[in-house]
Structure 1
Amino acid sequence: MIAVLLGKGDRNRSIEDLSREILRITRGLGGLLSIDIARNLRVQGLGSAKASVLMASVELARRLKYKSLQGAAFDATALARYMRTLFLPMRRECFVLATVSPAGNLLRVEIVSKGSLEEVGVHPRDLVRMVLNDEATEVIIAHNHPGMTSEPSPEDWEVYTRLGSILSELDVCLLDHWIFGIDGIFSCKHSTRLDED
């Protein structure tokens, strides 16, 4: 598929060899979805034009994946995989909100705040407003620790506890707070790392 998208190679390398090298570096199509192509994919024969085609294709795949999740029955495993593709290329901390309808369908997955390399600020009032606008009954919040472990900080626990308490008063269940790091996904609800299979 990559060979078809990129068209042709150059005088030093066939398009098939270039495609195989891209897949080797990214460890397959899944890895291609989670790499910042512009910054991290340096391959001889992959110039700016071909990199742009690849980036556009990856973004299209992400959007199609989101569309397949949105409105469908809530599936925590599929949501975690999708969020992984959102977070992996991020160099700064980002905070994501996922809302679930009373019927159990995923309503929204949205980056609601972007922060610095080591922290992201989010105000519970803003999250509550979005949850109420969606008429959601269940929520998952998530953020990333770029280049670090998924171990929660005291502030991460505070956000989880405080938001859970606020949402509970509104009859909304905070299902979990996931933290994505280089070592996997940490579940605040279960106080452990999640199995990503």
Structure 2
Amino acid sequence: MKQAIDFTPNIRSAKRVQIVQVKLVREKSLLYKERKIRSPHDAYTLMKEFIGDVDREHFVVLCLDTKNQPTCIQVVHIGSLNASIVHPREVLKSALLSNSASIIVGHNHPSDIATPSPEDIEVTERLKDAGKILGIDLLDHLIICTDSFTSLKEKGYV
């Protein structure tokens, strides 16, 4: 005796797939008079103005076009008093969505000591490697303090 095959769709096993659109949302803007980032000091000035005087670590990505003109800036993570866990996917997300050619990242040290930690160096390496895969150059990683900064590129880490 042959067994009948049931061709009716099984509604219970169906999975709803969301149809989405991904885009950047502009929250506000900041006027940058220099137009281009020509040095680590230029990036420091813009990031310092953007971050302001905060009491916790803020990790920022500055997205640049092919002429090193800033296209957008975003806080990608707010950490604790002395730590910030940063994932490359969060840093590179705004760079991808804004069609950036390169990025400069930076974070403040509330301790006001601009010496890079081993974690700062490690995240720089991870971002450099991830950016290379995606075709987005990591130009620098700045550690921002009240009146000074450290460029990890100038220190040889980028």
Q: Note the C-alpha offset of 1:98.
A: 0.2
**2:129 pairs with one of 157, 165, 175:** 165
On the 8 A contact 1:99/1:107 being kept in 2, the answer is: yes
Larger Rg: 2
On the 8 A contact 1:96/1:110 being kept in 2, the answer is: yes
2:140 aligned partner: 176
2:36 aligned partner: 73
Q: Note the C-alpha offset of 1:168.
A: 1.0
Q: Note the C-alpha offset of 1:137.
A: 0.8
Q: Which amino acid aligns with 1:73?
A: K
Q: Note the C-alpha offset of 1:78.
A: 3.2
Gaps of 5+ in 2: 1-27
Q: Which amino acid aligns with 1:139?
A: I
1:141 aligned partner: 105
Q: How many residues get paired?
A: 128
- Bigger relative CO (Cα 8 Å, ≥ 6 apart): 2
**1:111 pairs with one of 64, 75, 79:** 75
Matched, 1:122 2:86: yes
Instruction: Spell out structure 1 runs of 4+ moving beyond 4 A.
Output: none
Which structure shows the higher helix fraction? Answer: 1
Gaps of 5+ in 1: 1-62, 193-197
CA separation of 1:81 and 1:183: change in aligned 2, threshold 3 A: closer
Q: In terms of mean alpha carbon deviation, does 109-118 or 77-86 score higher?
A: 77-86
What do the CA deviations read for 1:141-170 (whole angstroms, capped 9, x no partner)? 000111230111111000001110110122
Q: TM-score, normalised by structure 2?
A: 0.71
On the 8 A contact 1:150/1:182 being kept in 2, the answer is: no
- Work out the percentage of aligned pairs sharing the same amino acid: 29
Q: Note the C-alpha offset of 1:182.
A: 4.8
On the 8 A contact 2:59/2:84 being kept in 1, the answer is: yes
What do the CA deviations read for 1:41-82 (whole angstroms, capped 9, x no partner)? xxxxxxxxxxxxxxxxxxxxxx87x22359x33344333112
Distance in 2 (CA, whole Å) between partners of 1:183 and 1:151 is: 14
Q: In terms of mean alpha carbon deviation, does 128-137 or 155-164 score higher?
A: 128-137
